[in-house]
Amino acid sequence: MKRALAGFFLGLAILAVAGPARASDDTLNQLVERFIVPHYQALALTADAQEKSWSEFCARPDEMGFKALQRAYLATADTWSQIEFLHYGPIGEEFRAERLSYWPERKNATAKGLAVLLEKDGVADLTPEMFVKNSVAAQGLPALERLLFDEKAEHEMLMGARRERRCAVGQAIAWNVVMIAHEVRLGWTSDIVEAIAKPDTAKEATSRIATDFLAFFAYMRDSKLRQPLGKDVASARPQLAESWRSKRSKRALQLNLEAAEDVSKIIMKGKEGDTPATIATAASLADGLPDEFGPAVSDAKERQQFYLVLDALAAARDKARGEIPAILGITVGFNSSDGD
C-alpha cells in the first residue's frame, strides 16, 4: 500500500513538473526552479530511502541493517538542513515543519512523546491516519535520531525486549517523514508554481522567502550556537546543540550556510553586492568548529571559534538585510526582529 502511494506521488510530480506555469518574476523563478524544488525533491528521495531501510531492517534486523538505518537518517537530516530555512509554502502549513523536525526540543517533548509511543503494544496505533495524532515532537527526525543514536540504541533495536515495537515505531516515523516530504514537494511543484504566475502572489512569495532567508541568520545564532554556548563556560549546555546525538551539529550548520550562500547567489546574480561573500566567510569559519559541539562549548579556548562564527553570522545578516530587500524590491518587517 505504501509503495503504491509513493508511486502515486511520483506520478503526480511528473505531471506537475511538466506544467508550463512560471512566476512573473525571474528571480523567484530561479529560486523555485533551481533551489526550492530540487531541495524538496532531494528531501523526498532521502526520506523514501530511509523508509525503505526501515522496512528492510524490521523484516530482518541485523547490525548491518542498523548501520544502514543510521546512514539513511543522516542523509535525510542533511537534505532537511539544506532547505530548513524556508517556512513559506506547504512546509509552514499543517505543522509540517514541526512534525518533520521538532527542534529545539522544549519541555522534553520528544523524549516524552517517544516514550508514550514505545510503551504501547501492537501496531494498530501506527497506521498513518492514527500516527499523526501523536505528539508533534515525536513524529519526525529528532525522534528517529533518538531511536538510532541514543546510548543503547543499537542494543535496544537488535536485542531489547521491546525491539519489535521499537522497530514498528521507527518505521511509522519514517513513513510520516515520507508523507510530509512528498506533500511539501507536491505543493511546490503544483499549487505554488501555479499561484506565483500571478504578480501579486509572486511578490508575496518573494517577500516571504526573503524574510525566511533573513530571519534564519538569527535562528542559527540564537538556537544553534548561543543555546549550547550559554553565557559562559559555567552555563554551557552541550545537550542543547542540534543533533548532538548523531554528532552532526557542525554539519547541520555547514549545510545551512551552504544553502544560504546558494540562495544569496541566486538573488544577487548580476547585481552588485557582498552578501554571498560574507556568508562564505561565515561558512569558512564554521568549518573551523569541532564536529561535536559538546565538549568544546565547555572549554574557554575552544569557545573562541564559536564567537567568531557568531560575529560572522551577524555580519552576514546585516549585509543581507542591507542588500537583499532593495534588490528584490520588497519590504522586510522589523517587528519580528526587534520587538517592543
List 207, 246, 254, 278, residue binding other proteins (CB under 8 A): 207
With a CB cutoff of 8 Å and minimum separation 6, the contacts of 167 are 54, 57, 58, 61, 157
What does the alpha-carbon distance between residue 221 and residue 233 come to, in Å, rounded to a whole number?
Answer: 17
List 56, 222, 287, 291, residue binding other proteins (CB under 8 A): 222
Cell of 140: 519526525
**Interface with other proteins includes 232 (CB under 8 A)?**
no
Q: How far is the CB of 274 from other proteins (least distance, A)?
A: 20
Amino acid (1-letter code) at residue 152:
K
**Interface with other proteins includes 307 (CB under 8 A)?**
no
Q: Which of residues 77-96 bind other proteins (CB under 8 A)?
A: 87-88, 92, 95
If the CB atoms of residues 55 and 135 are measured against other proteins, the closer one turns out to be 135
Buried-state track 192-221, b at ≥16 Cβ within 10 A, e below 16: bbbbbbeeebbbebbbbbbbbbbbbbeebb
What stretches of 243-293 adopt beta strand conformation (E)?
A: none
Angle at 125 between CA 171 and CA 4, to 5 degrees: 50
> What is the total count of residues that contact other proteins (CB under 8 A)?
34
**Interface with other proteins includes 227 (CB under 8 A)?**
yes
The total of other beta-carbon atoms located within 10 Å of residue 228's CB is 22
Cell of 105: 526540543
List 104, 288, 295, 322, residue binding other proteins (CB under 8 A): 104
Q: How far is the CB of 48 from other proteins (least distance, A)?
A: 26
Q: How far is the CB of 197 from other proteins (least distance, A)?
A: 18
**Interface with other proteins includes 114 (CB under 8 A)?**
no
Q: Are 38 and 165 in contact (CB under 8 A)?
A: no
What does the alpha-carbon distance between residue 211 and residue 331 come to, in Å, rounded to a whole number?
Answer: 9
**Interface with other proteins includes 137 (CB under 8 A)?**
yes
If the CB atoms of residues 98 and 154 are measured against other proteins, the closer one turns out to be 98
The total of other beta-carbon atoms located within 10 Å of residue 229's CB is 24
Amino acid (1-letter code) at residue 194:
E
Q: How far is the CB of 30 from other proteins (least distance, A)?
A: 21
**Interface with other proteins includes 336 (CB under 8 A)?**
yes
Single out the segment in contact with other proteins by CB under 8 A; choices: 55-63, 178-186, 204-212, 281-289. Answer: 204-212
List 2, 321, 325, 327, residue binding other proteins (CB under 8 A): 325
**x/- binding map, residues 25-64, to other proteins, per CB under 8 A?**
----------------------------------------
What does the alpha-carbon distance between residue 82 and residue 84 come to, in Å, rounded to a whole number?
Answer: 6
Q: Are 183 and 92 in contact (CB under 8 A)?
A: no
If the CB atoms of residues 125 and 204 are measured against other proteins, the closer one turns out to be 204
List 42, 240, 282, 309, residue binding other proteins (CB under 8 A): 240
Q: How far is the CB of 107 from other proteins (least distance, A)?
A: 6
What does the alpha-carbon distance between residue 192 and residue 218 come to, in Å, rounded to a whole number?
Answer: 27
What does the alpha-carbon distance between residue 250 and residue 241 come to, in Å, rounded to a whole number?
Answer: 9
Q: How far is the CB of 92 from other proteins (least distance, A)?
A: 6
List contacts with other proteins (CB under 8 A): 87-88, 92, 95, 98, 104-107, 109, 135-137, 200, 204, 207-208, 211, 222-223, 227, 240, 325-326, 330-336, 338-340
